[in-house]
């Protein structure tokens, strides 16, 4: 009976999910999350008298999204300056997060729907001793990393840069600034990595204040003193307007010369009334009784029709 009871209890536990070996096996088979790449930008005295740290995290393509991530940053840094994911069109979209303070470290918890994440914070632990500057950065080892790249920007006016561990990979960026690049092949979960920076700087000026706009192409060596218009559009519009005005005036003169004057309408001409002086008829004048022509004195026959005049 005891064996039967144990057997029945085992069947019930399996039936109701109290003990499910296949589910436990599947949960143990899930691999831990690994970052495909992690790029860390360290910019001392860039736009604040602290150090700007920028994380560029990339997840493997096989990771099912959305996924929750937990990244630790120094608690002394306070809230992150920015947290965003990169969309398919390349734009960055800000996302929400939760900050859990765990002693010296603060855990930034967020859910991402994109494989590319950017996290920024300001570290105020930059030490200044006269012109001497020192700073230390540490990756806490929250996740395994296939490729880690740390890029340190040299502040404008800084000299005697010393990076530990030492790196000989020094490049000049598109902004004209010098960068010291440290490349690490891979790190396992829980494995931290630390980089220290030392340099001299005689003042507290910030790099962002000294940056100037650089031309997109090399400037020519021409020495002509003729001014060049930065925007040719107003000149083109002005030339086009002058051309249209001159063309309109020339067309008007040409039309005026080629078109014949309109003929005057045929109006009835007014006949001029001429009043002839009235003839003075002498008293006793004789007229022809046949044609009515007046005869001259002494005529016996009409000068017009030849009829014998009556007395």
pLDDT on residue 218? 46
Cα–Cα distance between 207 and 153 in angstroms, integer? 10
Strands 116-123 and 82-86: antiparallel
Q: Other C-beta atoms within 10 Å of 80: how many?
A: 19
pLDDT digits over 64-81, tens only?
A: 999 999 999 999 999 999
Strands (DSSP E) found in 78-232: 82-86, 92-94, 98-102, 105-112, 116-123, 127-129, 132-139, 144-145, 148-153, 159-164, 170-172, 178-184, 193-200
pLDDT values of the chain reduced to their tens digit, one per residue, 311 residues: 555 555 555 555 544 554 444 444 444 444 689 999 999 999 999 999 999 999 999 999 999 999 999 999 999 999 999 999 999 999 999 999 999 999 999 999 999 999 999 999 999 999 999 999 999 999 999 999 999 999 999 999 999 999 999 998 999 999 999 999 999 989 999 999 999 999 999 999 999 998 865 444 444 433 333 334 445 666 677 777 777 888 777 777 777 666 555 555 555 555 554 455 555 556 667 777 777 777 777 777 777 777 767 76
pLDDT on residue 305? 78
pLDDT on residue 150? 97
pTM strictly above 0.85: no
pLDDT on residue 32? 86
pLDDT on residue 264? 52
Cα–Cα distance between 45 and 126 in angstroms, integer? 9
Residues in the chain: 311
pLDDT on residue 269? 54
pLDDT on residue 237? 73
């Amino acid at each position: 009976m005891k064996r039967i009871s144990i057997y029945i209890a085992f069947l019930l536990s399996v039936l109701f999910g109290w003990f499910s070996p296949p589910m436990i096996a599947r949960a143990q088979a899930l691999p831990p999350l690994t970052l495909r790449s992690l790029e860390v930008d360290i910019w001392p005295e860039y736009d604040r008298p602290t150090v700007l740290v920028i994380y560029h995290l990339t997840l493997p393509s096989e990771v099912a999204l959305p996924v929750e991530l937990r990244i630790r940053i120094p608690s002394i840094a306070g809230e992150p300056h920015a947290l965003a994911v990169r969309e398919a069109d390349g734009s960055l979209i800000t996302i929400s997060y939760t900050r859990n303070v765990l002693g010296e470290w603060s855990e930034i918890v967020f859910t991402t729907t994109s494989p590319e994440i950017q996290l920024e914070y300001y570290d105020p632990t930059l030490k200044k001793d006269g012109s001497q500057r020192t700073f230390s950065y540490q990756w806490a080892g929250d996740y395994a990393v296939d490729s880690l790249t740390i890029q340190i920007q040299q502040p404008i006016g800084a000299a005697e840069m010393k990076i530990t561990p030492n790196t000989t990979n020094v490049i000049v960026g598109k902004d004209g600034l010098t960068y010291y690049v440290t490349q690490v092949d891979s790190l396992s979960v829980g494995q931290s990595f630390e980089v220290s920076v030392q340099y001299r700087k005689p003042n507290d000026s910030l790099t962002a204040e000294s940056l100037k706009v650089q031309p997109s192409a090399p400037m020519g060596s021409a020495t002509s003193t003729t001014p060049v218009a930065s925007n040719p559009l107003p000149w083109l519009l002005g030339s086009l307007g002058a051309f249209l005005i001159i063309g309109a005036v020339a067309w008007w003169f040409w039309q005026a010369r080629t078109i014949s004057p309109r003929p005057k309408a045929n109006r009835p001409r007014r006949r001029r009334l001429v009043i002839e002086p009235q003839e003075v008829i002498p008293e006793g004048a004789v007229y022809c009784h046949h044609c009515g022509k007046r005869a001259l004195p002494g005529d016996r026959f009409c000068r017009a029709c030849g009829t014998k005049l009556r007395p």
